[in-house]
A and B are shown apart, each in its own frame.
Chain A
Amino acid sequence: MKYFKTNCCILIVFLFTVNTKAQIQQGHTNRNKFKQLYDQFASPNRYHNASGAPGVDYYQQKVDYKMDLELDDVSSKLYGEEVITYTNNSPDELPYLWLQLDQNIRKMDAPSLEKNSASNSVTVRPGRFVSNYAKDPFDGGFNIEWVKDANGNSLTYKINQTMMRVDLPSTIDPGEIFIFKIKWWYNINNHVDDGGRSGYEFFPEDGNKAYVIAQFFPRLCVYNDVEGWQNYQFWGNGEFALEFGDYQVNITVPSDHIMEATGRLQNPKEVLTRQEYRRFQASENSFDKPMIIVTEEEAKAKESSFSKKKSTWEFVAKNVRDFGFATSRKFIWDQQAVQVGKQKVMAVSLYPKEGNPLWEEYSTKAVVQTLKSYSKFTFDYPYPKAVSVHAKSQGMEYPMICWNYGRPDEDGTYSDRTKFGMISVIIHEVGHNYFPMIVNSDERQWGWMDEGLDTFMQYLTEQEFGETYPNSIGSLDVYPSRRGDPKKIVPYMSGNQDFISPIMSNPENVYQLGANAYAKPATALNILRETIMGRETFDHAFKTYSKRWMFKHPTPEDFFRTMEDASAIDLDWFWRGWFYTTDVVDIGVKNVTKYYFSDTPDQETKERLKTYGYDLDNLPEMVFKIDEESEFFDPKIATANAIQDSEILKNHLTKEGLEVNNSTPKFFYEVEFDKPGGLVMPLIVEYSYADGSTERVTYPVQLWRKNEKSVRKVISSNKVLVGVTVDPDKVTADINTNNNSWPKKENPSEFDKFKTRIKG
């Protein structure tokens, strides 16, 4: 299949039609799919530079917290007093500070409770009826007792829904530090019954609660060059934008509780029994498997103790953006050490007996795999531990700690669905340590920047988990990832456009957040890696982005620009299409025409030459294209060999020192590809020949730059072309594969395939 390339100056006359309609056409602005993205991007500046890196004047605020907390287990209340040290690294004078009060989303009069339209069903289940209409509404939200400065003087503050403005006696000037204190308490919600990313689960059999506590203290909003104060209200979907800082947190709970939290435990000897402490220390050097610190039997034995004594657990965390903790007397506890680069990291799991036997088997394994895989693709995990806590129906991340679902049935059995769901959610939530806990994008504004990147990394990690633990996937070939494979995004992208939003939308305003902010960006990145950039180039650029923005606040442009900056691949067309529009991929093969070359023109060509003013008896040296579908086509020519039977071509080949042999092309085809879909993509084609051989060609996406509806390619071959297939491996998320083959193959529908299978 050599392409016919010679430098001889043979004039090959291709027939073309002339548009004779004379009409004045109107102009237009640039609507090219490859147009620069300047119209969408923020201008690069001294904070976020044009290569996608932090600029020379990049700054961010530092906020340190010292907190004393006490949990009232009986009445499910949390009390706290916090000292906040705010360092103004910005060039601006700040007259006030904004703090997030996320708990206020559960205030009885919270506007967020009414953010959705609602209607009643014809029938209502009794449980639902009671919670909707008969039960007292939950009295949630922060009760702020006071806000004071370092000297104990009261500061005035104003609460607007989930945001609190603290007015300052004088401005905090650039470089200045301001210290203030807040005392607060709130009623902890039951997260199983009432929802929420944190709260407690109540176990009626033994009367215990398991707490997973987060968004529990007034936290500083981000102040930066992009948003000013990021005080977009918390409505429930858009997650968090927070500053980095150091935390010192003391938490008082019943003394029979076991706790894990963001940060290193400072006083294990004080809060653990002697036996627990011995195991805790030994586990820190167990690199090959988890060691159990509190066994299931021990946890069960404590379920009825309800100790009246109290213990205070002390945690210290450096350079984190938030703090979370989990506490209960029901917790079983295991951990193992993992070597990540030069750092030793503890992979930790905490779960009630209701999670077993699943959690003992898989939780810590999933944490270990996540630390290894993510670190390979981004940076070495910089924190001392990563904890996976089992909480029913939860899947939520905080620095160093996360809550995950996956509960076996009461008899201890579990389905594959439960098992893979649990492993996947642990990988996902532990993975969030990288995005957004360390590469700290603004979650409230852009859900995809952490969820999309994390889901993409989750896909890679799940696949590696399947390779590391082949027993876990049983008879399957690969780990059954729900998201990442291009084929899996087709149902979403081909859906009703009325219910689809571009990825570049605020998470509050999209229809299917899972598909929009998780699956589609993850798939887009996977396609970018496998099909457009190649693994090595992509991995280098992705790592560059991760490292550039470690412990910083990147914007979407920083990601887009870095991926181009580190790869020398213009991706404006890709970002525009996949992230800023809801366009779809649909590329097909429209037509294949076979043609021949002859020393003598056919009747049609003669007519055409005459109109060009050629003297037919005195033509310059040229060969003529003879179209098989022309009405003047002489079938005799079909048996001829374009080159061997053409004196003109043979002479020219000889002049060039080339021989006519078996590999000299005999057959010529013009293949027309069309693109009903709005997205441009590289054109991947498989050509099949009569001798059974196939050839793969990937035409660059730039092929579409001058005509995005239709393009043609000429195939010259010494074999007969019998088939053309576009995207044969289904790697581009083409939403309609009925037009992907020539000769046209009607793909059996899913329905027909199923019918055949059940008959089979």
Chain B
Amino acid sequence: MLFFYVLLNIFQLSFTDFETHKFYLSTTEIEYKKEFKTFQIMTQLFIDDLELLLQQQEKSLRLFPDSNAKHSDSMLMFHLKKEFQLIVNGEPQKISYLGKEYKNDIVVCYLEIFLDKIPSTIEIKNSMFFDLFDSQQNIIHYRNKANRKSFLLHSKSPTLVINLTK
């Protein structure tokens, strides 16, 4: 079974003792819904990380409240499509972006994938923010009815493979 144990101190902390957040981390939950033949995906990103990413292209852009919600949505969609990929049974999947919402200092992005066959292998790549932060870590939680697996992706290991037939 492929399972990632990270024994080292994974969250790089800065020296200040009360910051908006002190480590570069995102969390993505992927749930396989057999009855609908879909992957339901929620990606949680720190708002200030995302804002910084989008500001690389457009300095005046602001999030929460968005200076231009439509525009920031389309930019976010662009980055998610570039950095977040799912390959099911060897075939790249089309990811639909449903929208985003803000919760405290986090933005939750909702994505969905419709499948035409039962998945046997899933390859997931999540390189979100790897260009921006050296110490970025992306946690993936995969879940179906029977299983729950967690993985940690970082710039040296941006992809993972889950074999569901084993």
Contact = CB atoms under 8 A, between A and B. Distances in A.
Given A116-B9, A415-B64, A123 B17 contact: no
Interface in B47-71: 47, 62-65
Contacts of B42: 750-751
A195 B15 contact: yes
Contact of B47 (A116, A237, A417): A417
B110 interface: yes
Contacts of B141: 496
B121 interface: no
Contacts of A752: 40
A322 interface: no
B75 to A, nearest CB: 18
B132 interface: yes
B32 interface: no
B134 A121 contact: yes
B139 interface: yes
A119 B155 contact: yes
Given A124-B134, A755-B98, A395 B40 contact: no
Contacts of B132: 125
A754 B9 contact: no
A396 B130 contact: no
Interface in B1-16: 5-6, 8-16
A395 B15 CA distance: 10
A177 B132 CA distance: 55
Nearest to B66: A415
B23 interface: yes
Contacts of A116: 8-9, 12
A482 interface: yes
Contacts of A733: none
A45 interface: no
Contact of B110 (A197, A393, A511, A755): A755
B8 A415 contact: no
Interface in B126-166: 130-136, 139, 141, 150, 154-156
A308 to B, nearest CB: 33
Contacts of B91: none
Contacts of A751: 31, 40, 42, 110
Contacts of A123: 130-131
B123 to A, nearest CB: 18
B44 to A, nearest CB: 8
Contacts of B156: 119, 122
A118 interface: yes
A128 B134 contact: yes
A482 B104 contact: yes
Nearest to A759: B98
A620 B35 CA distance: 57
Nearest to A497: B150
B125 to A, nearest CB: 12
Given A123-B130, A451-B17, A512-B11, A498 B6 contact: yes
B98 A396 contact: no
B155 A121 contact: yes
A38 interface: no
B37 to A, nearest CB: 15
Contacts of A119: 134, 154-156
Contacts of B9: 115-117, 511
A512 B15 contact: no
Contact of A417 (B8, B14, B105): B105
A336 to B, nearest CB: 24
Chain B binding surface SS class: loop
Contacts of A409: 62
Nearest to A403: B16
A189 B154 CA distance: 30
A749 interface: yes
Contact of A415 (B17, B62, B139): B62
Interface in B76-99: 98-99
Contacts of B65: 415-416
A195 B14 contact: yes
Contacts of A284: none
A511 B11 contact: yes
B34 interface: no
B17 A197 contact: yes
Interface in A386-440: 393-397, 405, 409, 415-417, 421, 425, 428-429
Contacts of B11: 511-513
A429 B105 contact: no
B99 A758 contact: yes
Nearest to B47: A417
A514 interface: yes
A395 B154 contact: no
A116 B23 CA distance: 13
A117 B7 CA distance: 10
A394 B134 contact: no
Given A395-B17, A754-B110, A514 B22 contact: yes
Contacts of A754: 98-99, 101, 108, 110
A678 interface: no
A425 to B, nearest CB: 6
B10 A197 contact: no
A239 B17 CA distance: 8
A416 B99 CA distance: 21
A263 to B, nearest CB: 22
A752 B101 CA distance: 14
Interface in A602-638: none
Contacts of B98: 754-755, 758
Contacts of A395: 16-19
B13 A121 contact: no
Nearest to B100: A754
A185 B118 CA distance: 68
B47 to A, nearest CB: 7
A466 interface: no
B5 A498 contact: yes
Contacts of B131: 121, 123, 125
B65 to A, nearest CB: 6
A236 B13 contact: yes
A499 B10 contact: yes
B107 to A, nearest CB: 11
A120 interface: yes
Interface centre among B8, B20, B105, B135 (most CB of A within 10 A): B20
17 contacts: A116-B9, A117-B8, A119-B154, A122-B130, A128-B134, A195-B14, A239-B17, A395-B17, A395-B18, A415-B62, A416-B65, A417-B105, A451-B17, A480-B104, A496-B139, A496-B150, A498-B6
Interface of A: 115-125, 128, 195-197, 236-237, 239, 393-397, 405, 409, 415-417, 421, 425, 428-429, 451, 480, 482, 488, 496, 498-499, 511-514, 518, 749-752, 754-755, 758
Given A395-B18, A480-B104, A482-B104, 16 more contacts: A115-B9, A116-B8, A120-B155, A123-B130, A197-B15, A394-B16, A415-B62, A417-B47, A417-B64, A498-B6, A512-B11, A749-B31, A750-B42, A751-B31, A751-B40, A758-B98
Pairs A-B, 5 closest by C-beta atoms: A395-B18, A121-B155, A751-B40, A117-B8, A496-B150
